[in-house]
Chain A
Amino acid sequence: MLDQVHDYDDSKSLTVTAATSKLVVEGVSKWFRTPRATVHALDNVSMQVSDGEVVCVVGPSGCGKSTLLDIIAGLTKPDAGRVLADGHPVTGPGRQRLVVFQEPSLFPWLDVFGNVMFGLGLCPELSSVERREIAHRYLALVGLEKFERAHVHELSGGMKQRVALARALAPDPQVLLMDEPFGALDAMTREHLYDDIQRIWSDSCKTIVFVTHNMREAACLVDRVLLMSKAPGKIIQGFDIPLPRPRSIYDVELVSHAGRIADSLRGTVGGGVPE
């Protein structure tokens, strides 16, 4: 089964798009050394994302998707290879690349409003009135305007994730890195957010890399899906999703795209998944 999957080399088009590429990942490898074992998390991963493109990374659990996002964000140093943002090597985190983390990352000492204001407070170009106005707007967008003064521990898991989303969107970063941002949301809220998010993204023209385990979500939101193999993770296949926007998650064509990706993913896991 694995032999059907050829190496997907994204660098072929590198020369063509390098000029317009927002993000370039070049031959990135990563090993984690723990006292018990050395884990080979990423193996020579190359990809690029052009300006305003929305790309999704899918792959089996533990294949290194979060590690890849960490490296793009500049939070983790790769052991080999490098990442370019706007043509400059990434040496550390910066507020042009905001991250929505997989695990809860809200600050418990701030309330919901304070959490959204944290990132805005680091934007010197905004006045304090503008900051407050933006924070209100994004909290309303994720449907939490009534919870502005709530403490973090008083929110449900899905609400926390929506606050994290608002916190990342509010400072208007050029690049958004999202690790399963809708994982803890119920289907209703999620579908609602898909519509809102497609609108925001087409308005603001952000470059987005996100990770999901939901193939229909991937097909609904992105221009291109990158499929990673199981650990050590490498990118083995790319799918273009050339559907017009806005897309509905129930669109027949979209579902067939999603099915195609899911089939390939099953191939990487190795011989189907026992029901």
Chain B
Amino acid sequence: MKRFVIVSAFFTMLLVVWELASESGRWSPVLFPSVVSVAQYLWGAMMDGTLFEAIRVTLQRLLVGYMIGVAIGLPLGVLASSSQISEDTLGALALGLQTLPSVCWVPFAVLWFGQTEGAMLFVVVMGTVWSVIIATNHGARTIPPIYARAARTMGSEGLHLWTMVMLPASLPFLVSGMKQGWAFAWRSLMAAEIFVTILTGFGLGQLLHYGRELNAMDQVIGAMVVIVLIGLLADRILFAPWERFLHRRWGTNVRARMLRPACTRTRCDFHS
């Protein structure tokens, strides 16, 4: 409860400062709209349906692109972790391309696919896939081999070993890889929507883009607010439950650590 009060006080204060600054009249209201005008714009866009339509279009592109990216990235990440050769080749390639900001793929995509949904998807997949590969590769390398060894002595092998041991043992890195991928997919989709102006669907990024064309600052800021909120919500809904589960089971939560001394690995070597 106390946490909730502090959090809401913080954000209320932020809004109040913004409102006061815009009302002070030092800046043109065209460039610095008030909270109220942004809220009015959002309300209007909600009422006439453009906002929901934009959200739907954007989320659909995001989900499709993200799923393709994960479906390609996870197996390639496991492959990259499987040998030194694949690490040196595939791992290095992924690392190199991941450093390329995803907006750099836009000219490439437009030349290949034209102003189409395909171009949009291509940019999202390119933004997602490399970071998923890197996170998966790194994670798979850090699964302690003792789990598989212990399971095999108990008679676990083949499918049982993969589903009952390797999969749960790899949950921490799977979740961090998928989360990493999600963040990159979101960023690259916004870049793609702003730069690829197609008419088959009008997403949040395009709302932003036309806000600029129309000089409608309230629309620009409103779209930005919605983008931030969706990012936050996705994190809460998609990833937070998994992360809570992992923290509880693996004991990796920082706060829990402070309450109880961290569990030390026990390795006793008694030498006489």
| A residues apposed to B, CB below 8 Å | 60-61, 73-75, 92-95, 97-99, 101-105, 107-110, 118-119, 122, 151-158, 160-161, 167, 171, 180, 183-184, 213-215, 262, 265-266, 273
Q: For the complex formed, measure the closest distance between the CB of B253 and the CB atoms of chain A, giving whole angstroms.
A: 10
Size bracket, chain B contacts: 20 to 34
Set B154, B168, B264: member contacting A95, Cβ < 8 A = B154
Instruction: A61 to B250: give the CA distance in the assembly, Å.
Output: 30
Q: For B270, give its contact among A95, A157, A160, A214 (CB under 8 Å).
A: A214
CB closest residue in chain A, given B268: A183
B267 partner residues in chain A, CB cutoff 8 A = 102-103
Tell me whether B48 is interfacial, beta carbon within 8 Å.
no
State whether B251 touches A119 (Cβ < 8 A). Answer: no
Contact A104 B266 (CB under 8 A): yes
Query: B271 in the interface, Cβ–Cβ < 8 Å?
Result: yes
Name B230-272 residues within 8 Å CB distance of A: 248-251, 260, 263-272
A residues less than 8 Å from B266 (CB atoms)? 104, 157-158, 160-161, 183-184
Q: Cβ of A156: which chain B residues have Cβ within 8 Å of it?
A: 263
Q: How far is the CA of A41 from the CA of B154 in the complex (A)?
A: 26
Complex A-B: 23 CB contacts under 8 Å: A61-B269, A93-B152, A93-B153, A95-B155, A97-B153, A98-B153, A104-B266, A105-B150, A107-B150, A107-B165, A109-B169, A109-B250, A110-B168, A118-B151, A122-B155, A122-B160, A151-B248, A153-B263, A154-B263, A158-B266, A167-B154, A184-B266, A273-B272
Known: A109-B168, A122-B160, A213-B271. A103 touches B265 (CB 8 A): yes
B263 pairs with A61, CB closer than 8 A: no
Q: How far is the CA of A107 from the CA of B172 in the complex (A)?
A: 13
Determine the chain B residues whose CB is within 8 A of the CB of A122 once the complex forms. 154-156, 160
Contacts of B260 in A (CB 8 A): 154
- Complex Cα distance, B153 from A97, in Å, reads 7
* B59 within 8 Å of A (CB atoms): no
Is B52 among interface residues, defined by CB-CB distance under 8 A? no
Q: A104 and B265: CB pair below 8 A?
A: yes
Cβ-based interface call for B85 (8 A): no
Interface residue? B149 (CB, 8 A): yes
List chain B residues, Cβ under 8 A from A273. Answer: 271-272
B146 at the interface (CB under 8 A from A): yes
Taking CB atoms, residues of chain A closer than 8 Å to B269 are: 61, 183, 213
Indicate if the CB atoms of B250 and A153 lie closer than 8 Å: yes
Would A118 and B154 be within 8 Å (CB), given that A105-B146, A151-B248 are in contact? yes
Closest chain A residue to B160, Cβ basis: A122
Q: Complex: how many Å from CA A104 to CA B160?
A: 22
A109 to B252, CA, bound (A): 12
Docked complex Cα distance between A153 and B251 (Å): 6
Q: Is the CB of B272 within 8 A of A266?
A: yes
| Chain B nearest CB, measured from A260 CB (Å) | 14
In contact, B154 and A171 (Cβ under 8 angstroms) = yes
Q: A107-B169, A151-B251, A262-B272 are in contact. Are A101 and B149 (CB under 8 A)?
A: yes
- Name the residue among B149, B150, B249 with the largest chain A CB count within 10 angstroms: B150
Q: Residues of A contacting B154 with CB < 8 Å?
A: 95, 98, 118-119, 122, 167, 171
Residues of B within 8 A of A157 (CB): 263-264, 266
Q: Nearest B residue to A262 by beta-carbon distance? A: B272
Bound form: Cα–Cα A176–B271 in Å: 24
Of B147, B250, B260, B266, chain A has the most CB atoms within 10 Å of the CB of B266
**Inter-chain contact B155/A94, CB cutoff 8 Å:** yes
Given contacts A102-B267, A153-B263, A266-B272, contact A107 B155 (CB under 8 A): no
Across the interface, which residues of A come within 8 angstroms of B152, CB to CB?
Answer: 75, 92-93
Interface centre among A94, A105, A108, A155, by most chain B C-beta atoms within 10 angstroms, is A108
**Contact, CB under 8 Å: A109 / B249:** yes
Q: Which residues of B contact A118 (CB under 8 A)?
A: 151, 154, 156, 164
Given A103-B265, A109-B169, A109-B249, decide whether A61 and B271 contact each other with a Cβ distance below 8 A.
Answer: yes
B171 — which chain A residues lie within 8 A by C-beta? 109
Known interface pairs A151-B248, A183-B270; 13 further A-B residue pairs with C-beta atoms within 8 A, sorted by A's residue number: A99-B149, A101-B146, A101-B150, A103-B265, A104-B266, A108-B251, A109-B171, A152-B249, A157-B266, A180-B268, A213-B270, A213-B271, A215-B272
A106 CA / B266 CA spacing, docked (Å): 12
Q: What is the chain B residue whose CB lies nearest that of A115?
A: B150
Nearest Cβ distance between residue A48 and chain B, in whole angstroms? 21
